[in-house]
Amino acid sequence: MFSASDLRKGLKVEIDGAPYVITDFSFVKPGKGQAIYNCKLKNMVNGSTLSRAYRSNDKLAKPELSNRKFQYSYADGDDYIFMDDKYEQVTLSAAILGDSRHFLVEDTEIEVLYYRGQPMDVTLPTFVEKAIVDTEPGVRGDTATNVLKPAKIAGGYEIQVPIFINQGDTVRIDTRTGQYSDRVSKA
Amino acid sequence: MDPLRRNLRLRSRLLQATRDFFLERDFIEIETPLRVATPALESHIDAIPSGSGFLRTSPELHMKRLLAAGHSRIFQIGPCFRHGERGDLHNPEYTMLEWYRADANYSDVLVDTKTLVDSVARAVVGSTSLTYQGRAIELMPVWDYCRVRDLYLEHAGWDPVANFDGDRFDRDMTAKVMPAIAQGRPVIMADYPASAAALARLKPTQPEVAERWELCIGGLELANAYSELTDAAEQRTRFESCARERHQRGQAVYEIDEKFMRALESGLPDCAGVALGIDRLAMLLADASRIGDVMAFREELS
């Protein structure tokens, strides 16, 4: 259990059976009055937010959270198969992976957050490299402007890339935003 | 110059100007123990244990013992310690200025306070026109004097004097009243509900309120003052009810300070006192948003 005086930004707590992270915290105490611990919290499963004001004698449960590292092996329909360093396999669904599934590269190490033994969220490396498998031919000579065009990456997901990118180029993608970062190699 | 360095110079001038102010007015500077056998019983103040006793949460009880012993104008600047108080405006260790006058009431020490703020602002920043966190503040000449009941009726829509609700009172103070009065000049919130009297005496002509005021400037709560309770029997009753309240909430219950009670029983003159947070006043004068910005070493322990 956490008591109110343990609360601080970044702490993970459990409210109504769901894990939350404190995203904003302030301590206020009017003269001679009770301390009030104002928290903004984000639900770690669905991303919804709440504001709560706690008092000194309030208690909060500690969520059962753990992290495990896996390497990506392969996809089987909507199932994604990963393996840990002891060759133990786990299967994560497309629903849990969300858009992250488009940026998986074989042997990439990912971190899975478990809540009460259930996989809940995955964290990919910040940048991954993917080959461009389909896009309009690049426009020569225009590497400075910010004009973007659609391009399919290996696996078929579509991202926006600068117009100078060609089919067969390899690009780096920021997995936090799903956006093109830079070109790694030319076709 | 880096901001902390500038703020520490300002703080040093503030301490000096404060001492000058009181010494010029025939107050004597005193020091009372930091480590005490038992801290003053208050509903929402928790003490930090130290050896067989505690670090003081305030010097109030010892200073009143000096008043009972015949000292009539005393002040003290020194550290106080409060468990768990940590935020932009709080640190578990901080510096308090307290002063007491015999034969005075809370209106007399309001005059002291206004003269003190005027005089230290001139000495420290050379002006009584300030900017605090983007808001222009005129420290002089007008202070708004508001009754707590009127502030709650206007900004929170209920009367805490007629129907006191401690939880709601505290919540609305920070959420509604304080933001509303964070204006361009100092505000005195006076005459607290009797249930929030702490160690103040009740107003003889209006016993549903206590002779207590607080000073707020620019959203900062700077000082708290009382016409001191001098009735020993009434004081014991309040301590006992506070102890019960703390016990029910599962908080540590401190012994009643019997040496203080004996001093009260032997006779405390009519007197009034003010507690003013030196760190907060330094924040105001330095335009600092966090208490740590005006402290040389923000407390390292968690």
B185 CB near a chain A CB, below 8 Å? no
| Partner-chain residue, chosen from A31, A32, A35, that has the shortest CB–CB distance to B85 | A35
Cβ of residue A35 closer than 8 Å to a chain B Cβ: yes
pLDDT of B302 reads 45
CA–CA dist B224, B78 (Å, integer)? 16
The CA distances from residue B211 to B190, B199, B203, B226, in Å, are: 7, 10, 6, 6
B249–A36 C-beta distance less than 8 A:
no
b (16+ CB within 10 A) / e for A83-112: eeeeeeeeebeeebbeebbbbbeeebebeb
Q: Are A22 and A28 in contact (CB under 8 A)?
A: no
Residues of B with Cβ-Cβ distance to A55 under 8 angstroms: 167
Chain B from 36 to 55: CB within 8 A of any A CB: 42-45
The whole-angstrom separation of Cα A93 and Cα A68 is 16
Interface probe, candidates A5, A26, A29, chain B, greatest B C-beta count within 10 A = A29
Domains of chain A (ranges, CATH numbers):
2-60 (2.30.30.30), 65-123 (2.40.50.140), 127-185 (2.40.50.140)
pLDDT per position as a tens digit, B129-180: 999 999 999 999 999 999 999 999 999 999 999 999 998 999 999 999 999 9
Q: Which residues contact A100 (CB under 8 A, 6 or more apart)?
A: A110, A122, A124, A175
Q: CA A64, CA B118: separation in Å to the nearest integer?
A: 55
Query: B173 to chain A: which residues are within 8 Å by CB?
Result: 30, 33
Residue B168, H or E segment: helix B166-172
Q: What's the Cα-to-Cα distance from B66 to each of B45, B63, B69, B131, rounded to whole Å?
A: 23, 5, 5, 39
Going by C-alpha positions, the residue among B42, B223, A125 that lies closest to residue B212 is B223
Contact B90 A56 (CB under 8 A): no
Interface check for B198 against chain A (CB to CB < 8 A): the answer is yes
The alpha-carbon gap from A5 to the nearest alpha carbon of chain B, in Å, equals 6
Tokens (6 digits) for B235: 């004081």
Q: In this predicted structure, what is the pLDDT of residue B300?
A: 60
- Count how many pairs of residues, chain A against chain B, have C-beta atoms within 8 Å: 58
Bridge-based pairing of strands B144-147 and B187-193 is parallel
pTM of the model: 0.80
What is the tens place of the pLDDT at every residue in A111-143? Answer: 998 988 888 888 899 999 999 999 988 766 656
Q: Which residues of A touch B170 (CB under 8 A)?
A: 30, 33-34, 36
Q: How many angstroms from the chain centroid is the CA of residue B20?
A: 20
Mean pLDDT of B203-217: 97
Place of tokens 């032997």: B266
What average pLDDT does this structure show over A76-92? 90
- Provide the β-strand partners of residue A19: A14
pLDDT, mean of residues B234-259: 94
B-chain residue closest to A54, CA distance: B171
Q: What is the pLDDT of residue B299?
A: 62
pLDDT at B135: 96
